[in-house]
Amino acid sequence: MSEGRVHRVKDRKLLVRHYKVIPYSELVEILREDGAAFFEDSKEEPLRRQTVWKAARRLSEMLKRRVVVEKTILRLENGGSLEGYSFSVSEKQS
């Protein structure tokens, strides 16, 4: 197993932060209207469980209702499928 290397950073402007953006505004809109939304996960860089859990918690705060998240597979009408996460508004208040 190779070990990581440490480098000095003299100019912080040269650092490029790499992170996924979860479209909270779109998810909130769909959850308000329909009560459930599906977020497709990337196969190249899958979301961590911690990230998804925090997203559900943040959505709960934004909606002032409990949002539940589950890892799911969405079946498409053409016979294909997508892997991702299902966010849904729970009936119980948080």
As beta bridge partners, residue 73 has 83
- Specify the pTM: 0.73
- Give the Cα separation of 35 and 66 in Å (integer): 11
Q: What is the domain partition of the chain in residue ranges?
A: 39-94
SS (H, E, C) the chain: CCCCCCCCCCCHHHCCCCCCCCCHHHHHHHHHHHCEEEEECCCCCCCCHHHHHHHHHHHHHHHCCCEEEEEEEEECCCCCEEEEEEEEECCCCC
- Residues 18-73 pLDDT 10s: 566 788 999 999 999 999 999 998 888 888 889 999 999 999 999 999 999 999 99
- Residues 54-67 pLDDT 10s: 999 999 999 999 99
Q: Which two tokens stand for residue 69?
A: 């998240």
